[in-house]
Structure 1
């Protein structure tokens, strides 16, 4: 991973240098505005007796000040963007060292009833989601969680090509994510699209020509007054007429402004994200399809969204006294801006969900591409329809440090079941989660932690962490039975890879042995494939009577009063158990 960390260090260095230059420009910009203000004050003082000159100075100063503020805001945005890029690269260096527990954990996506997510630490602190997720948008995070849990096995080569292409575009991914990270929203994308879809107009159609005529007359009256051709009373009367017209719709304009202020940042940043998609060419089919949602139309989506962002910003300026009162009195500005917003909504409200979905897709898939970039030594499983469901050389768990990771080779064929025995802490549970992640990652289109992998796509279902529920007055044993019933019902209608950790833990040994054996026989008869970990050695006898069942184990040995594990997956049955030894070693019993 040296080339990966070198890339991140170089990006930090480059962006830090650019950030310092931008900060210097910001300091100069602030100084220029101060000089302009002082010069304007001096000019007003010097020409105080000449009203026309003073008015001209004030007007020109306001225009110049607005221009400088706009430029300053642009520099501030560039500064924030560079800070975001630096933060991204610093985060990646931390994650390469397995420091990632401060990142969003995805706790809200946990679901005890899901096919596998609860059992394999997919969400929550220290989870695979926390390790991989780099989404900047809530909608992107939601979509990424959906990819993790949808249990779909279609179009995997297509997904792989998309991940490969994005993994080779680190600068583009980081730029996209940095822009997305600057989105400050009070409403989700779903709420925005819902509001647009159900919006009811209130501005009359005549406001467009009337506001133009009204503004023209206002300008003429001001010029005539400036030339002393009419009195100020005429301007005052016209001004209050404008306020009266605007005031008639004040409540509805206030409601519109309240809603648009919540979505303004979304559109300000989303048009930039769309522009990133529009200007980038892709070659993989999936990325091309998603890009075409944005560019295959008669309109340029980024320009349309940018225009709407300007409309929203213009309406937001009404809080400024100069604009909120004077511009309404002379130009009917609030109504004209509200009209522009309503016409935009009427024209493009059906396009917005499509554009937002494209942004959401790239935000989520950037995390997958980032994972591929960070793990260039991982392999993309070769997809086939051969007998082996999963044939892996050097399989490991992606959350373990590679320096200390013990990798294992295994091959499990279609409709085979492995019975895995082993001492406590010997590596059974880690192996089960490793195999589970190989399947989940393979279905998503990710590279897997292995030296070589072949995969015949299959859906996953697990039962490893059944818990009781005091709230539902439900015992541990009954919870486990419900989970097993869920598995039995699912395998009737689809093809699954089943992973179980200790069947029927909640009952006595004799009953457990009988029930476990019958359940294994049922699974074998269902044409499913899977792995069952157990401490019950009597279950291993099934391999002697059922050709589909094979025994494997993880060993432990005691040498010089110390316990040693090799964490290696081996054929056979475990003969060494360590519970009694550990009880004595920890002085729990004599």
Structure 2
């Protein structure tokens, strides 16, 4: 079985070969189109010169028909070429991800960063070097929002989470579907803006266009100019003034609400490209047979109460929008006057909104849900050795075998980890750079993956459903005039308040109370850790304060000590990043000070 990298490379080669053929096809039809036009016009000119009127007209008609067919074919070939180029780009991007170059990807979800969120900032969920940047394959506005919610909001029950796991595994195995699905969105990427205006339009009603008399009038009004024209051609002595009068009547009929129609039709026309992609993405979902219950539940949302498929209804909307796009044609004004097309289009639009408009938001949100799940399934496909977590219902326990940080790639060092009753808090000590903070983030981000329905970076992983809170990266907020120390207090207060609720709480605290003196820091940390352990919250606390290690004996087993250590080889500091029980027994501050070029002994003499 091919690895993900090998399959991406195979597809890249296949699509590159196809692109070569398609490029030749596009160039050939382009040359042929020009040749037909030049030769056809030349022959027509010669026939006119030779005074063969019927042959010249026939030649011109044949030329225009063949030329038009070639234009349509050329456009189709160009679209196919662009689609193949998009698939090539997707596979090139996928190869970069497997090579660890994903931090170069433009979409890092930076706009989703939220300093006030319970954990996303500390666990690198968004921004440069983030989980979002690593896995995101969502292109549409709501697809990206859906992925953001999947990684930060965990309201699903355990049963739902297992369903999502099955959906993610199934999507992971359907690489062809996922790449085509993403390609359809990328074809019109620049048009995938926030569809809220479209949703608003779909819900707006213009009752005047539902009137029966107007529907009858739009059928009758074209008969006036058409009948007058036929009479002018066939009836001797029929005056052209009647034709002009008929045209004037139609113009006056079109005049009322002209500005309103212009605004409505122009607004929806802006979504032509994005609706084209939505339609094709819906078609891909509808034509795919899924096994997982969750995916089939999502798929059912792409039908209305009468069982009519969303693709059929979106196709009808596309036809209407194509008519709207024709309004920019120079001949449209003439056709509009004769056939009162503006009214006909508005009536069709209102009928469509009446029957299908209320479903549009559900369809587009469902498209986004599939994008989010496809993004998460990237983890499953590219990391087949990672495992889906097991969720514990009534047991406060986290256990993992071979757990590593998913964003560190080959640099990661894996640890076995267990946290179970009566222990509620693990106190992690160790010297600088030994791995304390990384361990906290490793556990935190793997919990995020678990709750999102993704596999985790471990050989086995079990956990209960908990609400995650962190206090790790805290900085000054000049805009709100908040110091880092006060910002840290706010975070800690939120954790304390949450621990008093009925929810299961999991917290990660990294070197708390850094902004105060050592005595207050020690006492504050001691009181906080004791209070959280008594409240029943679970969590990890990293600290340099080795004296906090005495809490293990004082807590009745609720607090356990673990540590990381360093060693020296050839007068160089080394770390194995392995978690061990007990309090740290080593220190490296003086070594690091010397590494910075500070002469420790001279400074001592100076004092």
TM-score relative to the length of structure 2: 0.90
Q: CA deviation at 1:221?
A: 6.2
Partner of 1:118: 121
* Residue of 50, 74, 77 corresponding to 2:76: 74
Q: Which secondary structure state, in structure 2, belongs to the residue aligned with residue 108 of structure 1?
A: helix
Q: Is the 8 A contact 1:243 1:328 kept in 2?
A: no
How much is the aligned-residue C-alpha RMSD, in angstroms? 2.6
Asked if 1:198 is matched to 2:192, the reply is no
* Residue of 549, 552, 561 corresponding to 1:551: 561
Q: Which secondary structure state, in structure 2, belongs to the residue aligned with residue 193 of structure 1?
A: helix
Gap runs ≥5 in structure 1: none
State the Cα deviation string for residues 217-260 of structure 1 (Å, max 9, x = none).
Answer: 65666677778977877656545554443344432232123202
Asked if 1:137 is matched to 2:174, the reply is no
CA distance in 2, matches of 1:388, 1:545: 21
Deviates more, 1:92-101 or 1:198-207: 198-207
Cα distance 1:54–1:352, how it changes in 2: closer, same or farther (>3 A)? farther
Q: Is the 8 A contact 2:147 2:372 kept in 1?
A: yes
Q: Is the 8 A contact 2:566 2:576 kept in 1?
A: yes
CA distance in 2, matches of 1:97, 1:508: 45
Q: Is the 8 A contact 1:396 1:407 kept in 2?
A: yes
Cα distance 1:300–1:373, how it changes in 2: closer, same or farther (>3 A)? same
CA distance in 2, matches of 1:475, 1:361: 39
Q: Which secondary structure state, in structure 1, belongs to the residue aligned with residue 355 of structure 2?
A: helix
Cα distance 1:228–1:219, how it changes in 2: closer, same or farther (>3 A)? same
Asked if 1:336 is matched to 2:338, the reply is no
* Residue of 408, 411, 421 corresponding to 1:400: 408
Q: CA deviation at 1:41?
A: 2.6
Q: CA deviation at 1:456?
A: 2.4
Cα distance 1:6–1:227, how it changes in 2: closer, same or farther (>3 A)? farther
CA distance in 2, matches of 1:53, 1:235: 33
* Residue of 263, 285, 288 corresponding to 2:296: 288
Q: Which secondary structure state, in structure 1, belongs to the residue aligned with residue 163 of structure 2?
A: helix
Partner of 2:316: 307
Partner of 2:14: 14
Q: Is the 8 A contact 2:562 2:583 kept in 1?
A: yes
Cα distance 1:79–1:227, how it changes in 2: closer, same or farther (>3 A)? farther
* Residue of 148, 152, 156 corresponding to 1:149: 152
* Residue of 381, 393, 405 corresponding to 2:389: 381
* Residue of 139, 162, 171 corresponding to 1:166: 171
Q: CA deviation at 1:18?
A: 2.3
State the Cα deviation string for residues 164-210 of structure 1 (Å, max 9, x = none).
Answer: 11001110011111101123427412221122213535546545444
Q: CA deviation at 1:4?
A: 0.7
* Residue of 489, 492, 499 corresponding to 1:491: 499
CA distance in 2, matches of 1:57, 1:245: 41
TM-score relative to the length of structure 1: 0.93
Q: Is the 8 A contact 1:389 1:458 kept in 2?
A: no
Q: What are the residue-to-residue correspondences of 1:503-514 with 2, within 5 Å?
A: 503-514=512-523
Q: Is the 8 A contact 2:198 2:268 kept in 1?
A: no
Q: Is the 8 A contact 2:224 2:246 kept in 1?
A: no
CA distance in 2, matches of 1:17, 1:240: 59
Partner of 1:476: 484
Cα distance 1:231–1:589, how it changes in 2: closer, same or farther (>3 A)? farther
CA distance in 2, matches of 1:81, 1:532: 51
CA distance in 1, matches of 2:542, 2:205: 56
Partner of 1:107: 110
CA distance in 2, matches of 1:216, 1:370: 59
Q: CA deviation at 1:413?
A: 1.3
State the Cα deviation string for residues 448-487 of structure 1 (Å, max 9, x = none).
Answer: 1112222222221111112222333323222221111111
Q: Which secondary structure state, in structure 2, belongs to the residue aligned with residue 499 of structure 1?
A: strand
CA distance in 1, matches of 2:192, 2:371: 19
CA distance in 2, matches of 1:22, 1:357: 34
* Residue of 168, 183, 195 corresponding to 1:189: 195
Partner of 1:541: 550
Q: CA deviation at 1:53?
A: 7.5
Size of the aligned set, in residue pairs, is 588
CA distance in 1, matches of 2:99, 2:413: 18
